[in-house]
Amino acid sequence: MRCEEVRGRLDEWVEGALGERQKEAVAAHLAGCDDCRAEARELEALLAAAADLPREIRPPRELWAGIDARLGDEPSPMVVPLAARRGPRRAGLPAWAMVAAALALVVVTAAVTTILTRNYDEAVALKLRRAGESAPPTAARDEDVPGADEARFLAASQELLAGLEAQDLSPETMEIVRRNLEVIDAAIAELQVALDRDPGNGELTRMLLATYQRKIDLLEQAARSGEG
């Protein structure tokens, strides 16, 4: 074995990870080569020092306060012990809370419907504008497709919203739906603005439709959660 080859194997040698024959070959070389032997010693010393490094080092500053401030009220809901869930989940809610929840649902639904309707009107206006500006109706067929999709999405969302309203979802579920609808609606609004600046952009139109799809998905998911 030549020096180069031995050096390439020293990592495994010091860990005792070489096969019998290679181990013997390396040992034989080390016995007769001062340079490689020094190299092996250095490596062993390094590994011993690494293994001896302290496992614990106290941070130079107190960190707990910063952590405490960022903790939520409860850890993740995965294995909340039975005891923590004691008490009525819904049945015991006071009447005013149920009324408030119902009202919130109506408000949310109305807001969503308004946004959807406004978007729809804008989309239609946009399409008319585009059709009038640039191309004869036959050539505008490609643009009709996303428009038609959008109308379909709108119809579907409205149907779903109506369905949700009729369902007796828990206030907790409604709160989750509300928060996420806000997120989606904000995204839709941004896409609308971008699309206004660049009406011909097919990619933006596609993204807008994909975001509508998220909304439908969310509403469907919420609806499923209410089914027995």
Min dist CB 65 to other proteins, Å, is 10
The tokens of 67 are what? 């952590």
Residue 33 near which of Zn ion, other proteins, none (CB within 5-8 Å, type-dependent): Zn ion
Min dist CB 96 to other proteins, Å, is 18
| 17 DSSP assignment | -
Check binding of 18 to other proteins (CB under 8 A).
no
User: Do residues 16 and 27 lie in contact, with contact meaning Cβ atoms separated by under 8 Å?
Assistant: no
Using the contact rule CB under 8 A, the part of the chain among 106-114, 140-148, 157-165, 193-201 near other proteins is 193-201
7: amino acid identity, one letter:
R
Question: Which residues are within 8 A (CB) of 45 and not within 5 positions of it... i.e. 6 or more apart?
Answer: none
Min dist CB 28 to Zn ion, Å, is 11
Question: Which residues are within 8 A (CB) of 160 and not within 5 positions of it... i.e. 6 or more apart?
Answer: 216, 219, 220, 223
Between CA 128 and CA 147 the distance in angstroms is 10
Residue 85 near which of Zn ion, other proteins, none (CB within 5-8 Å, type-dependent): other proteins
Check binding of 2 to other proteins (CB under 8 A).
no
User: Do residues 165 and 96 lie in contact, with contact meaning Cβ atoms separated by under 8 Å?
Assistant: no
Residues numbered 73 to 92 that lie near other proteins (CB under 8 A) are 73-92
Check binding of 174 to Zn ion (CB under 5 A).
no
Site string for other proteins, 132-171 (x = CB under 8 A): ------------------------------------x-x-
| E-strand stretches of the chain | none
Check binding of 21 to other proteins (CB under 8 A).
no
Residues numbered 24 to 83 that lie near Zn ion (CB under 5 A) are 33, 36
The values of phi and psi at residue 210, to 5°, are -65, -35
Residues that bind Zn ion (CB under 5 A): 3, 33, 36
